[in-house]
Each structure stands twice: as structure tokens, then as C-alpha cells.
Structure 1
Amino acid sequence: MARKVRDRVDPRVIGSRVFMLLWLTIAWVMLWGPIEVGTIVAGVLVSIVVMVLLPLPRVPVEGLVRPVSTAWLVIVVAYYLVRSSIAVAWLSVRPQAPPRSAVLRAPMRLKSDFTLALAVNTLNLMPGGIVVRVDPVARYVYIHVLDAGSPEAVERFRRQTAHVEHLYVRAFERPEDWKPSPEHYSAPAEEYRSRVPDRVKDRAPEPVHDSEEHR
């Protein structure tokens, strides 16, 4: 009971609910047209009803959103999107043989599964690569990279992936802001392996290239 009371007064939990209320209200106003007092009030009331009667599964709030770092994250990701699009367009029209592709492994040491999912989606948005597997226990992502035919290309991939990880840490998971939630659960490696289907366990591992040395 005491923990539930603490959760209710936790500023992070309250902030997430206020954000959801604002988001639903904005969606309601955009759907119904003119920005009027009546439309906004109706949007707030409908949003409250939706949040009470149709609540989403609770996501542990463990970090803190840093607005400036989040804005910088958006700017840098937009730059990577443009740069990657130009690089892929050049690879498709240049008068040379197609580059060698490969599945590369990169560490993604984000603590929150939600933040990890955001980072994976960001990597998927960038042309030239697609995440084919996520190891939630060891915190690795396996990415099929279109251009991995040279050490320079692999190093460029490693730097970009590490930079995305760093940006997400600065925006959502700074060490001084991190407060582990009792609702957070990480499956032990043994349990994770026990849930893997036999057809996956028996399959020979695919060759991958580490994006950095692991000593």
C-alpha cells in the first residue's frame, strides 16, 4: 500500500500522466477542428475518461527527460537521416560494384527496455541498415548494414551507433537521474534461453562482425 501511495505522488509518474492527458487532448482538438474553449474542455474530459476506463499497461518511470538533450537528439538523428539517405542514393547510382553487406553487432547498454526500443526504432529509420535482432539480456543489437565493405565503413557504423546510444543516455538515462523502479524486471540469461524455441536454439549461429573489440 505504501509503495502504491509513493508511486502516485512520484513526480515522474505524475508527469507522464499529465503528458498523456495533454497528448490525448491535442489529438482530440486536431480531430474536431477549430481551437475553441469548448473543444479543449471536451478533449480534456474525454482524455480523462479514456485514461481511467482504458488504461495502458504501466511502464516503469526510472529516468528523467532532459528537454535540451532530447531536442539535440532529434536534431542529430535528423542529420543522420539526411546523411544516410544521400549515402544510400550514391551507392545505388555509382558506377561500381555493390558494396559488401554484413550483419554487425553493437553494444546498446541502455537500462530501460522502453529506451532501448526507441533507440532500435531510431536505427531502423536510418537508411542503410536494419536491426535484425536484439539481445535483451546481453544488451546487443545485430544490424544488417548495407555498406560494410571496408574498415572505414565499419568504423563509421560503430561511431554512429555509439553516438545514438550516448544521445539517448543523455536525454533519458543520466546516472544522476536514474531511479530503478520495483516494477522493472530483467529476465536472467538462463530464463531467457529457456524461452527460446528449439528451432532457434539448434540453429547454427550466423557469422557476425563485432563493431568494436571486446576484451
Structure 2
Amino acid sequence: MSPNLWRFNKKKAQPFRVPFEEIREHTPFAEHILSYCQKLNGRDLVILCVGTDRSTGDSLGPLVGSKLEGLSLGRFTVYGTLEFPVHAMNLTERLNEVQSNHSNPYIIAIDACLGQQVNVGSVTLQDGPLHPGAAVHKDLPKVGDIHITGTVNIGGAMEFYVLQNTRLHIVMSMAESIAQSIYLADQKLSEHSIVSSAIQAIVHYSPTDINKV
């Protein structure tokens, strides 16, 4: 569970936010994810979904991970599902696993957050790492090159109680939106990779190659 950080540091650019009423429109969010990933030069793309299925409000990350697990992703590797969640007790271990499995990974961290009433149900994308557990006063490692958060409920007091009494419908809707947006971005990245490979093949083609057929 991460805090809604943008409210407390106005020097940072405000995140790209999709309000709850518009989260079924996946293309704008997918395009923003794509805008970050297209700038990378061959880095492994990792989705790190943080949270636990033991709390309705904090289950956003694992729900996204499980939804992505059921899709055919070509460019993203997913960590954190309902079956194998990434949470406070194993976060450091799972981060070490990511670093061991990937060379210079580019991590998109996903977590739930608490915020203002007007933002409940909204999904945001922002530069920099998120701070898992900060909203419930846990000291955990910062994670992510960029991060996606979903505002699941109102913050300010009695956070554990608020998380336990968060509407599952809101969390499920946000999880579906985030997963579909990542899937669309993955498709675009895969298409770009195929086109780039074809162009490279043409560039390196030599007429003498026909003799090898």
C-alpha cells in the first residue's frame, strides 16, 4: 500500500491520471506506458505487482498480476500474483530475484494507495519509485523506475480498517483497467520489435545470400 505521493510534493510533475469514470478506456493509459518503454534500449521490462490478497484494498497489485498472467505477454515479465504475492514480508527477496533473473531491468511497480475522496477509483502513472507500505507506516524499500497506483479508498486515518472495508468492485475495476492497458502496450511493443527485426534483416541482406538457398 503506497501513499498518494503527488499531493505532498508539488515540485514533481503531476501523474497522468485516469478517473474512475473513464478507466474502461484503456488506450490513453496504454499510450503513456508505451511512451516510457519505447525509450529503452533492450532493457528487460518487468511488472512488479505489490500487495496482498489478505486485504481487499491492498489486493490491487496481485489482482493485476494474476490478470496479466492469463494474457500472452511478449515483452513484460510479471512478478506478484494472487498465488505468489509480493508483499512486506518478501519484498526484498523478490527484488533480489528480479535482479538475478534480469540484466538491468526496467521495473514498473504497481500498488494500491489511499487518497482524497475525489480520486477514489482513479488510476495514475508517474515517474520514479513507489514507497510500498508507507500509507500504513511500514519502512520498505522503494521500488520501480516508474509506478502505477490505484486509489482504492480515502486516506488520513485508520488505514488498516479502511483497507479492510474497501469495495471489491472498485479494486477489480481498476485491476482490469491496468491489466488491459499493459496488454495493449505490450502488443504495440511486440509489433515494433517485429518491424525492427524485419528492417534489420533487409538492411543486412546481401544478393549473395540467394546462393545459399
TM-score by length of 2: 0.27
Q: Determine which structure has the larger strand proportion and give its number.
A: 2
TM-score by length of 1: 0.27
